[in-house]
Amino acid sequence: MPESGAGVHIQDQLEILIQDFRTSAEPPMPVFVVHPQDSADDDAVAGLVRQLYAGQEVHGTRCALAQDLYEGPTEVRRAAAMVRALSDPKKWGGPKAVYRRYAFPRLRLVHAIDDAVAALGDTWPAPAPGTPEAGQDQRQRLLDQLARQRWRPEGTARWRSGLPLFDMAHILPASLVTVLAALLARSDWFVAVAAGLAFLLLLTVLNYVLPGRAPIFLWLRRESRWFMTTTFLRAADQDDPTEVSLLRPVRSWKAIAARAYDVAEALTAGGDFHLQLCVLALREDLRDNHRRWSWDLRGFKRPRPPMLFLPRADDRNGGIELIRAISDVRSRRSELDPLLVVAAVRSHDVPLLERGVVRTAPDPDPAPPRFGERLRTWYREWARNLRAEQSPSRERSVLPWVMKIPLPHDQLGPVEERRRHLRAATRPTLARLVWALHTLVLVIALLAAGTVMRADSLHDRYCSASVLTANRDTRLARAPGGGTECIGIATGGVRFADWLPAPEPSDEVGTLRADDETPWTVDELEDRIAGQNADVLAHHSGKYVTLVYAGPLSADPAAGSSFVKGIEELAGVYLAQAVINKNSSVKLRVLVANGGVDLGHQVEMAQAIAAYAADDPTVVGVVGTGRDLESSRATTRTLLEAGLPVVSGTNSATYLPREFANWFSLAATDEWQTEQLGLIAAQLRTPGRRQYALVLARDTARTDDLYTDEQARYGQRMLRREGFTPLKARRYVLSGGKPELRSHAQEICRGGRVPSVIYFAGRVEDVDPLMTQLGTEPGCAGKPLSIFTGDDLSKADFTAGGQSVAPKVTLYHAALAELKAAATRTTFYLSAAAYLPGLGDRRLRYDNPALASGQTALSHDATRALYWAATRDDRPQSRASTWVNLRSVKIEGMATGTIDFTRAPLYDDRTGHSIVLKRVRRAGDGTAESRVLCSRTAGDTEPLTQKECRIR
């Protein structure tokens, strides 16, 4: 700390200015020139400045000490060399200085141009005639030299702290933007990071490795913007551009090149321009280093202004010219800068500074004020006169920013009485605490943790998600067996096949198998539908309609469920799309929706469809929803409120057409099916003899299966109507996906009233266990027994040995599609062989296992019916018009016959359903033998008769 009285008072004055600077008052910072009144005290004054420097270092001030001699032919050049030395950030700030080091990009740019001029030598810009340089473009020579220097001063290290010194301030943000763009596009995180790293590497190569080039982001640098906008530099040639623009890099580069050439020409002319330009660049860099409202709030983190200490300013080291230049540049500029200069001048060099504010020492008073009071008085007088002294009309001999302080001999001695000196507030600023590296690390850690948690949440909730976003048209749900399934409407590349169990490999590619699999896969069908959709959107914009297939496209082997129904229906929808888009001017776009295992999440699926349709007016209706569940009402109501008609191929619910005007189904209702089965039951009734009948149904207490309840209710009514004596209905439960039928078989077969007819209201997968129990249980084994069941058994494949029948048991069941009678009048099978995958060169028939259940045919016909209503008069129709047009649909030549909705009354049953009644018996070799008793193709309203359906 200062030991003399003058040092203590000057230090206090500096702290007062620092406190004003801290409180954002932005006080004008003078150049304090201290000089002794007696030449014998020159060394003491120089030592005083060093003491002030040491004191400010202790206080944590960013300060530089310029006491070396610098080379140069003139005092101006030596002063410029001093300023150049100050461009080293290490010159500013000791170990106690807060925040990071200063940066001097503007000053370094000026030095780069100066070094380029020096490297070109005296041959630039006017080479001697006849020399090789005379025939070259002098501007290009300068730019080539700057490119070799990478627009940096000569001798500047290209590497610091392991990183190349180039445009990292722009390259890193550009790479980060690339990463964010990839994340927002829902790419995987590793894809986004790889894209950012690749872009970073590319920019690094373009910026650093390629020789002879300017930095690729030169026009975006802050020094370039200052270089082109400062009024200190003379304007460039009128033929050259004079502005820089973010979106016009070529024009900006030309402007920078023109300005660099003009500045280089001015530097070769000599004079004060070089020094003043360096001082201006130093001043602007310091202003930028203390700019408060910068991205890092660095001005708030540096509450103490920078200080430059010159212990011996004279003509030998250029200090006098530097003081002149600082005052001149400040007088020409209107902004305040934070630099505070303290210089010591020998007494005989004071006249070199011309006249200051304090021209002569005041006359001695009877009681002269203390030196500290005089110092504050001089500062107030200097600040008050600053505006007037900068006026162009004033004498040119005045240096308005210089405040000379004469130091009497008695103030340079040691202080006898020590007192506590002033010190500006030292508490950390709020910005330093809040907007700091540790805060940034904490925020980044919190953001990273939040991002990871959000990403996990998105990946746990949605089928397709990235780090930041997700496709909200589909979501994940828990399957009945504990697995995971994808529910909703597939958009944006979502594939439900990705959530299905891998199929078992077949022994022969392209063959039709009789097991639970089909020749095609959901993956193949989804890919082909996506290909059709892409072609429609790319080449037929505005000339297409969109329908949604809504079905069960999930499987849960642990729960004993299968996705065969969904895959067969989806095949029919794709087949219809392929045929339509091949032959029609109005194209069909198909979106696939999944309601989960056995449509257990069909309400959520319907909500997703409705939400999507609200934003896409091309969606005209829905095909599917082929299972009758307790949630079917809510599903149909949701689609009704969205204005979407539903055409179902296989849902045989009786109540839906009676309650909903938007419901159209190709399947015969459960009530009507059982009425037709009554034609067969009547033939099994022996008049005058009591015959018992029993309804055996699957327990639905823990499920929302309504199909089973309807079958049981209508079956009981049919048996009673035909004269059978009904026994108490029985309900069997599932355990591990398998039916528990043993106890029921024992009670049925060993009782005194053994039924001759059982109406089985169950699912096709439960038939084999039932036959096993009836074929082995005493009281039933080997005795005639008839079993009736509904259309779900049409999915069974008796001909290939997939299901069996117990001896003496006759199975009667309904099927929804009469394919044989309609096969001669349709092109369905030719189209299926041409478009469906996995068939090889095989020709398809109505009895092929892949099509025998009729579900592919029914969904195909439903799709064709909905498309017909949506494209009446060969123009795309709105969904409201499609709904109305459905009641005028009549299409012949379909896979199941004629689809006719013209006689479909509102809120009532229609006629003309396709129906097949089949009988299945055990053959002599133990296999099952199936025979059609009677049938009707779709569109045929002639009622079935008992004679036609005779069983003997």
pLDDT tens digits, 237-262: 445 556 666 566 677 777 788 888 88
DSSP H helices, 121-167, are 138-148
- The Cα 150–Cα 868 span in angstroms is 70
Give the pair of three-digit tokens for residue 337: 């800068």
Q: Which of residues 247 and 773 earns the better pLDDT score?
A: 773
Closest CA to 326 of 253, 263, 277, 396: 277
- The Cα 737–Cα 483 span in angstroms is 14
Say yes or no to pLDDT of 206 above 70: no
Spatial contact of 104 and 84, defined as CB atoms under 8 Å apart: no
Q: Up-side HSE of residue 580: CA atoms within 13 Å toward CB?
A: 31
Whole-number pLDDT of residue 166 = 46
Whole-number pLDDT of residue 510 = 35
Give the pair of three-digit tokens for residue 435: 């907007």
Q: State how far the alpha carbon of 636 is from the alpha carbons of 628, 646, 703, 818, in Å.
A: 11, 8, 19, 27
Cα 473 from chain centre: 15
Q: Which of 426-435, 478-487, 790-799 has the lowest mean pLDDT?
A: 426-435
Rounded mean pLDDT, 622-641: 95
Q: Is the peptide bond before 125 cis (omega within 30 degrees of 0)?
A: yes
Q: Which of residues 52 and 171 earns the better pLDDT score?
A: 52
- The Cα 899–Cα 901 span in angstroms is 7
- The Cα 113–Cα 122 span in angstroms is 15
Helix (H, G, I), strand (E, B) or coil at 598: helix
Whole-number pLDDT of residue 802 = 59
Spatial contact of 143 and 110, defined as CB atoms under 8 Å apart: no
Helix (H, G, I), strand (E, B) or coil at 412: coil
Give pairs for 418-425: CB < 8 Å, separation 24+: 419/8, 421/1, 421/2, 421/8, 421/11, 421/12, 421/15, 422/11, 422/12, 422/15, 422/16, 423/15, 423/59, 424/15, 424/16, 424/18, 424/19, 424/22, 424/59, 424/303, 424/304, 425/19, 425/22, 425/303
Whole-number pLDDT of residue 255 = 78
672-705, pLDDT tens digit by residue? 999 999 999 999 999 889 999 999 999 988 888 8
Whole-number pLDDT of residue 173 = 65
Spatial contact of 755 and 692, defined as CB atoms under 8 Å apart: yes
Count each helix (H run) and each strand (E run) in the chain, helices first.
Answer: 27, 26
Cα 484 from chain centre: 24
Share of the chain above pLDDT 90, in %: 48
Whole-number pLDDT of residue 335 = 78
Rounded mean pLDDT, 741-747: 90
DSSP H helices, 462-509, are none
B/e letters for 149-168, b = 16+ CB within 10 Å, e = fewer, are bbbbbeeeeeeeeeeeebbb
Q: Which of residues 521 and 96 earns the better pLDDT score?
A: 521
Strand 809-815 relative to strand 915-922, pairing: antiparallel
B/e letters for 608-636, b = 16+ CB within 10 Å, e = fewer, are bbbebbeeeebbbbbbbbbbbbebbbebb
Say yes or no to pLDDT of 324 above 70: yes
Say yes or no to pLDDT of 592 above 70: yes
153-172, pLDDT tens digit by residue? 987 754 443 344 445 555 55
Q: Best-predicted range by mean pLDDT among 188-202, 644-658, 800-814?
A: 644-658
Give pairs for 47-50: CB < 8 Å, separation 24+: 47/311, 48/2, 48/4, 48/6, 48/7, 48/10, 48/344, 48/407, 48/412, 49/309, 49/310, 49/311, 49/342, 49/343, 49/344, 50/309, 50/311
Instruction: State in Å, rounded, how far the first CA of the chain is from the last one.
Output: 124
Residue 211 confidence class, pLDDT cut points 50, 70, 90: very low
Please enumerate in sequence order all residues whose Cβ is within 8 A of that of 300, keeping only pairs 6 or more positions apart, or say none: 292, 429, 430, 431, 432, 435
Rounded mean pLDDT, 134-142: 77
Whole-number pLDDT of residue 513 = 36
Rounded mean pLDDT, 167-182: 63
471-519, pLDDT tens digit by residue? 999 999 998 877 889 999 999 989 999 988 765 544 433 333 334 467 8
Q: What average pLDDT does the structure give for the chain?
A: 85
Rg (CA), the chain: 47
- The Cα 408–Cα 431 span in angstroms is 43
Q: Got the DSSP string for 413-437?
A: SBPSS--PPP----SPPHHHHHSSH
Say yes or no to pLDDT of 799 above 70: no
Rounded mean pLDDT, 125-153: 78
For 13: left if phi > 0, alpha if psi spans -120 to 50, otherwise beta; the answer is alpha
Query: Angle, to 10 degrees, between the axis of helix 273-289 and the axis of helix 222-229?
Result: 130
Closest CA to 243 of 222, 227, 228: 228
- The Cα 636–Cα 586 span in angstroms is 27
Spatial contact of 550 and 623, defined as CB atoms under 8 Å apart: yes
Residue 715 confidence class, pLDDT cut points 50, 70, 90: very high
Rounded mean pLDDT, 199-215: 61
Q: Which of 262-271, 431-440, 888-897 has the lowest mean pLDDT?
A: 431-440
Residue 232 confidence class, pLDDT cut points 50, 70, 90: confident
Q: State how far the alpha carbon of 864 is from the alpha carbons of 254, 565, 854, in Å.
A: 65, 19, 15
Please enumerate in sequence order all residues whose Cβ is within 8 A of that of 385, keeping only pairs 6 or more positions apart, or say none: 357, 400
Burial (CB count <10 Å: 0-12, 13-18, 19+), residue 354: middle
Whole-number pLDDT of residue 244 = 63
Spatial contact of 652 and 667, defined as CB atoms under 8 Å apart: yes
Please enumerate in sequence order all residues whose Cβ is within 8 A of that of 305, keeping only pairs 6 or more positions apart, or say none: 17, 18, 21, 29, 61, 62, 290, 338, 339, 340
